[in-house]
Amino acid sequence: AQKVTQAQTEISVVEKEDVTLDCVYETRDTTYYLFWYKQPPSGELVFLIRRNSFDEQNEISGRYSWNFQKSTSSFNFTITASQVVDSAVYFCALRVYNQGGKLIFGQGTELSVKP
């Protein structure tokens, strides 16, 4: 069975702090994809990144960076110099190849960035 765990339910930081959101996944399949989505207070789901299981290269996009480690089944997300606009719920999700494209979501981490 597949599972995604986001152990941090809520995180509160002060603006300009760096913050890391943890994601641990479980799957026996060798081909899979990992995602991060952002859900701001307005409620929509915003796609941030997709990684496949054969690409462990870290990714950086502006203040966002992602660390994918198959050895620990983790796909952590770091926001550098956080801003108030980063306040949102962040979801990590897993999709296993050849299973209809279904996403398995973690419970989400609510990030609050205070000025």
Residue among 9 and 61 whose Cβ is closer to another protein? 9
Binding site for another protein (CB under 8 A): 4, 6, 9, 33, 35, 43-45, 47, 50, 91, 93, 100-108
Residue among 28 and 71 whose Cβ is closer to another protein? 28
Q: What is the DSSP string of 58-101?
A: -EEETTEEEEEEGGGTEEEEEESS--GGG-EEEEEEEEETTSTT
Residue among 9 and 71 whose Cβ is closer to another protein? 9
Closest CA to 54 of 25, 32, 35, 23: 32
Rounded CA-CA distance 83/13 in Å is 9
Smallest distance, Å, CB 50 to another protein? 6
Smallest distance, Å, CB 101 to another protein? 5
